[in-house]
Chains A and B, each alone.
Chain A
Amino acid sequence: MRRLLLTLAPLRAGAALVALALVLLVLVPAPALAHGDLVEGFPGPGDDVAVGTDVLRLQFTDLDPEGRPMVAVTDAAGDPVAVGEASLGAPDTICARSAPLPAGVTTIDYSVLSDDGDRQEGSYTFEVSAEGAATEPGVCHPADLAAPGEARTIDEMGSATVPVWVLYGLGVLAVLAMGLVVLRVRSDRRSHPA
């Protein structure tokens, strides 16, 4: 009977670890809900802006100032437009210079890091036309912005990141693995006392 209990002891402990890990997953808050929502932009969703617009300004809620923002533009033909490296023009406001925008339905894709650590990716379309509104750079000073470089899509800019929940799960798994190693060492010591 004692031998049976000794054999089952590591299993009971393993089950306890599983239960503990699951309880932690429930009790410890999951990654906070998304911040980093788009508040407004120039050009913004559905806007009609002038041909030749070359300053992009996107305002969000609660950005991480250390996060690397990315903004990409696609023209009406679906081809990427050259955009310089995006930067913070003010807290929560991303600025970037683009090549002068040609007429047509244009798409902005963005990827920003919110202050809760979630990378927010979004997309919207707007019109570029001869009758469109003139540039409103606001806090974005064109002279301070990186010149447009190579025309790239948001994917080519390297927006792919590991989801936070994957990191979270891996962390818990690491703790569990360490616990199992400790249990095995203790079990081996019981089986083979020095």
Chain B
Amino acid sequence: MNLRRAAAATAALSLVLAAGAACGDDESFDEMPMVDGVGGLDGMDGMAGMMGGDPDATPADQVDGEVRSGEFTVLDTAPPGSDDAAGQAWLAQGDDGTTVTIRLTGLAADTVYLAHLHAEPCATDNGGPHFQFEVGGSDQPPNEIHLAFTSDDAGSGEVTVTHDQKVGDGAPSVVVHPATSMDNRLACADFS
């Protein structure tokens, strides 16, 4: 009888864990207190590169392989007061997959920002939809490439993220948003 109870409890626990893992698709970075200062995430060993930033990763502009870069331009959907935002983005692709690095200045101080690789150039609908390895699949990493960082006291921020697959030519731009107002696309950079 005790064994049956244990089996039932195990089954219930397995289901809850499996359901949570399988269905956590909602975009909710702003509810995840996991961003750690400039450069990435903390406490996410083994997942940092997938989830938004890896402080130990080699920045894309220092990676061997094909490296493309672009300057950020402020978009018309940016939050008011974002005119001073500027920076650069790099996209490196090699045998180890894809590395993306963004560096920005002129941001609000001590603020969490998110960025995503996009499927269109900046001139097309401010970057269009998010780049996805499997189009129509999950809107979370690893099917997409997301970056997250917190600006410092001076309004500067940098983050690098890695992915073991190459994006090819499918991700021509990267778009940055404030985490608290995701519908405000702040700045976009084309990789060229």
Contacts and interface: CB of A to CB of B under 8 A. Distances in A.
Contacts of A90: none
A176 B14 CA distance: 11
Contact of B75 (A46, A169, A187): A46
Given A25-B15, A25-B22, A45 B184 contact: yes
A123 B3 CA distance: 50
Given A10-B4, A33-B138, A45 B27 contact: no
B10 to A, nearest CB: 7
Contact of B7 (A14, A30, A33, A166): A14
Interface residues of B, number: 36
B183 A30 contact: no
B78 interface: yes
A48 B16 CA distance: 46
B4 A184 contact: yes
Interface in A31-45: 31, 33-34, 38, 44-45
A143 B154 CA distance: 47
Interface string B4-35: 10011011101110111011111100000000
Interface in A113-156: 118, 122-127
A99 interface: no
B14 to A, nearest CB: 6
Nearest to A166: B19
A44 B77 CA distance: 8
B139 interface: yes
A123 B26 CA distance: 15
Per DSSP, are chain A's interface residues mostly helix, strand or loop, or mixed? helix
Given A45-B77, A122-B182, A14 B139 contact: no
Interface residues of A, number: 42
A160 to B, nearest CB: 12
Contact of B184 (A125, A173, A180): A125
A15 interface: yes
A46 B14 contact: no
Contacts of A166: 19
A30 B22 contact: yes
B183 A45 contact: yes
Given A14-B8, A169-B20, A22 B183 contact: no
A176 B10 CA distance: 11
A18 B14 contact: yes
Given A25-B18, A124-B181, A124-B184, A180 B138 contact: no
Contact of B26 (A118, A168, A169): A118
Contacts of A22: 14-15, 18
A34 B18 contact: no
Which 8 pairs show the lowest CB-CB distances between chains A and B?
Answer: A165-B23, A169-B19, A124-B183, A14-B7, A45-B77, A127-B80, A46-B77, A18-B11
Interface of A: 10-11, 14-15, 17-18, 21-22, 25-26, 30-31, 33-34, 38, 44-46, 48, 105, 107, 118, 122-127, 163-166, 168-169, 172-173, 176-177, 180, 183-184, 187
5 contacts: A22-B14, A25-B15, A33-B137, A124-B79, A124-B184
